[in-house]
Structure 1
Amino acid sequence: MCIGIPGKVLSVGDDIHQMAEVEVCGVKRGVNIMLVCEGDPAALVGQWVLVHVGFAMSIIDEAEARETLIALEQIGGLEPVQAG
């Protein structure tokens, strides 16, 4: 079983071959968006994605992202989630 951690896309490059900057649990990191980008990478800015081993695996909505973060916090996998 693999666990994806929700992250919010902050910025992207000019094409899918460049890493996007994604905030995951308060930490900004480079993430590959090739698996979720179907058009202009700029359309992903502000979107939530599930991140696993440096790859965005799927796009999710904010409610699902928050629910996943809370569930991971409850099982001890994350520090407490900040509101906002």
Structure 2
Amino acid sequence: MAAPHTDLRTGTHDPLCLPYESWRRLYGLACVRCGGGRGLRPGGHAYTQHLDGGRLGWAVRICADCEDCPKAIESKGELTQ
């Protein structure tokens, strides 16, 4: 499992290098930020690279604990830029 508060919504990730826990986060089975599962809600998008050089967007979820954290709120603003 990734370190606590590692937010997959930042950057574009290489899908071939992602561990299993990151895939759970991309599929919305766990919080995109901390990997928890309590009170999951829509949390923006995370991106992986596509073989053609483009990006694939994943509608991810965030838990109630991270939703209230100031860093999580700041990250949400970065998603729309």
Instruction: Give me the TM-score of the superposition, normalised by structure 1.
Output: 0.29
> Higher Cα Rg: structure 1 or 2?
1
Which structure shows the bigger proportion of residues in strand conformation? Answer: 1
